[in-house]
Structure 1
Amino acid sequence: MNNTVILRVNGKEWDGWTSVRIAAGIERIARDFTVEITRSWPGDTEQAERSSRIRNADLVEVLIGADKVMTGYVEATPVRYDARSISVGISGRSKTADLIDCSATPGQYAGRTLPQVAADLASPFSIKVVDAGGAGGVLQGVQADQGETVMDVLNKMLGLQQALAYDNEEGNLVIGGIGSQKAHTALVLGENILTCDTEKSIRDRFSSYQVSGQRAGNDDDFGEVTTTAIRARTIDGGIARYRPMLIRQTGNATTSTCSERGEFEMRQRAARTDEVTYSVQGWHQGNGDLWRPNLQVVVYDPILGFNNRLMVIAEVTYQQDEKGTITELRVGPPDAYLPEPVKPGKRKKKSEEEDPF
């Protein structure tokens, strides 16, 4: 397997790094990289050439062998030295980093699908949107408010349709579902698992989730002068002792939205208990494919009670240094990565509602 990491910048390819870290995941929309090369002082002209040829804001492609893993921009070129050596580093993020950092153009979007709205939001940044399925139906209305980032607006829509937003190796924004493909290689204790790190924590879990809210009255009970209390309760059977959580649902709540919020809180918090970070040797699966985020992977780990359990790879981190070449894989049940259901909006006054005729 070719584990050479190459930076392609300004028509030239650079390699020979002494330290590498590349990370990508489904809970972020911008992957990132950091590479470093350390050499002794005498006659090190290559170091100076790297520093002068690779600059902040340069477009960069990051490759592992022939496989492209990131397209983005150089964001930092740190230099560190002492009396014996000099270290030059380069780091950056995917093109989609601008969607995290920058403000969206204020406006309203109605009667369009999530990928269509995402494409409009990403267009000023020259970022393409890939519709990978998982988001269906037309949105009733989404608004980009003054000062909100593109990511803020995307999060509103993701909660409406329980979809994910992440980037790909070309720097495109992908809208898709959870666990779109299956990994070729399983994670098996005693075979390819080198280390395991998990808290198995129930600190954020509760025995019951009671979500309460209010809805405006209708014409029969004096319009908006009155309100009706709405409550829904969800039980986590995995928590035996009394640990209640009360959640206030904002906006014009319904029994359905309160129930959905309670179910979401219970399922996600329970799933996070089983989240694990494994490390494996190398960066490739048995068939030669790189480990990648959003793959479904079978996990056999009797120490943690996983008997060929199907999990989702939430994050992949490729690392290489003097200790070797390893991949860190953060995995968990699909429910751990569901976006939070959108909070219900306020009910419009009659003067604000559209005339149906």
Structure 2
Amino acid sequence: MNDNVTLRVDGREWGGWTSVRIGAGIERLARDFSVEITREWPGSDGTKSLQPRIKNSAKVEVLIGADLVITGWVEATPVRYDAGSISTGISGRSLTADLIDCAADPRQLNGRSLVQVATTLAAPFGIDVINSGAPTGSIPSVQPDHGETVLEVLNKILGKQQALAYDDPRGRLVIGGIGSTRATTALVLGQNIISCDTEKSIRERFSTYQVSGQRSGNDDDFGAATTTALRAKTEDAGISRYRPMAVQQTGQATGASCIARAEFEARQRAARTDETTYTVWGWRQGDGTLWQPNQRVIVFDPVCGFDNREMLISEVTFTKDNNGTRAELRIGPPDAYLPEPKDPKKRKKSSAEDPF
């Protein structure tokens, strides 16, 4: 199968790259790419032909074979040389990169859904928003602070809405949930896995998580002018020594929301311990499709303790250089990427203490 990488700019295609790196993931808002050609020095009449003919700020489509993988902007055209060779390159990011870098329009948005808020914020940049199973509930109020980027505004509400934000190959902003599709090929030690890298770290895990919050009183709390303090606690059975963590819940808290936040912290941090990066040959699965982020994949790796365990691909990096054509897949339990729960009242019960 043809897996040559092509850059399409203004209807013209550029290829022949000797080094390629393309990255995409669910914990980033913009895919990125970098390509490079390295040659020996030509004769004096050939130096001009090595200068980049693709300019910064050009709109670009990046393709692997016939598959579109990035629609974005050229952001750099590096040149490097020494006594023996010269290399020229092109790098850039998805159209959604502007949502990471640029300030949001500081307008008040009331009573809109997450997709509606994202659509309004992305509209000035000409970026479309795709609903991939996003929650439909309305958000009472969203007000970007002065100088706050679109990504920073989205991050404040994504957790509470239990949704992810990432981009797709057409440079659109996708709002959706975890594990939208399944990989057709498993990751199996001794078959397609050629290397593994994992820390199995517990640095960010704690034995107990205590969440505190406040809410305004009501008629049952002796009038709206009173303030009730709330506190909830849960434990991580995998941490045996004393390591407490205290979290202050912002906004109008309830006993249920404090419990849910404590459980969320424990579950997500424990799941991060199993994050692993695998390297496989090639960029495609057994059915010919490219590896994709946000796919669920079966992993068999007795060395790391995975016995046909379903994991989530959080990031895919395609590389090509002198060492061959490879894909790096960062995987983890789905809980590692769970946003903060939307409806804590439906979650299982944890130990909660009475208000102070």
C-alpha deviation, 1:214, in angstroms: 2.2
- The aligned counterpart of 1:301 is 301
2:48, 2:270 → 1: CA distance? Answer: 52
Q: Return the alpha-carbon distance in structure 1 between the equivalents of residues 235 and 272 of structure 2.
A: 16
2:309 partner amino acid: R
For structure 1, list consecutive stretches of 5 or more residues without a partner in the other structure. 343-357
| 2:187 maps to 1:187 | yes
More displaced stretch, 128-137 vs 333-342: 333-342
> Corresponding residue for 2:82?
82
Partner of 1:123: 123
| 3-state SS, counterpart of residue 107 of structure 1 | coil
Q: CA contact under 8 A between 2:71 and 2:171: conserved in structure 1?
A: yes
Deviations, residues 144-195 of structure 1 (Å, cap 9, x unaligned):
2221111111112211211000000000001111000000100000100000
In the TM superposition, what whole-angstrom CA distance separates every residue of 1:47-88 from its partner, at most 9, and x where no partner exists? 744634201000011000111100000000010111211110
Superposed, 1:190-209 pairs within 5 Å as 190-209=190-209
CA separation in 1, counterparts of 2:133 and 2:315? 20
Q: Which moved more, 1:294-303 or 1:151-160?
A: 151-160
Listed as ranges, the matches of 1:12-27 within 5 Å are 12-27=12-27
Q: Given the alignment of the two structures, is residue 73 of structure 1 paired with residue 73 of structure 2, yes or no?
A: yes
Indicate the residue corresponding to 1:354 in structure 2: none
1:264 is displaced (CA, Å) by: 1.1
1:38 equivalenced with 2:38 (yes/no): yes
Alignment check: 8 A CA contact 1:275 1:330 kept: yes
Identity %: 67
Separation of aligned partners in 2, 1:282 and 1:136:
39
Please state whether the residue corresponding to 2:143 is helix, strand or coil. Answer: strand
Which residue identity does 1:108 align to in structure 2? Q
Give SS of 1:152's match: helix
1:5–1:339 Cα change, 3 Å: same
Determine if contact 2:114/2:134 at 8 Å carries over to the other structure: no
Contact preservation (8 Å) 1:136, 1:161 = no
Aligned-pair CA distance for 1:321 = 0.2
Q: How many residues align?
A: 342
How far apart in 2 are the matches of 1:260 and 1:128?
A: 33
Cα gap change, 1:189/1:199 in structure 2, threshold over 3 Å: closer, same or farther?
same
Alpha carbons 1:58, 1:74 under 8 Å: kept:
yes
Describe the SS at the equivalent of 1:312. strand
Q: RMSD across aligned C-alpha pairs, in angstroms?
A: 1.8
* Partner of residue 251, structure 2: 251
TM-score (norm 2): 0.92
Q: Which residue of 2 aligns with 1:345?
A: none
1:94-243 pair list within 5 angstroms? 94-218=94-218, 223=223, 226-243=226-243
Match for 1:129: what amino acid? Answer: V
TM-aligned CA deviation for residue 256 of structure 1: 1.7
Secondary structure of the corresponding residue to residue 271 of structure 2 = helix
Which residue identity is paired with 1:212? S
**For structure 2, which runs of at least 5 residues remain unmatched after alignment?**
343-356
Which residue identity is paired with 1:81? Y
Aligned to 2:262: 262
Match of residue 11 from structure 2: 11
In structure 2, the partner of 1:336 is 336
Amino acid at match of 2:244: P
Please give the TM-score of this superposition, normalised by the length of structure 1.
0.91
Alignment CA distance shift 1:47-1:289 (3 Å): farther
Determine whether 1:310 maps to 2:330: no
Distance across 1 between alignment mates of 2:290 and 2:47:
30
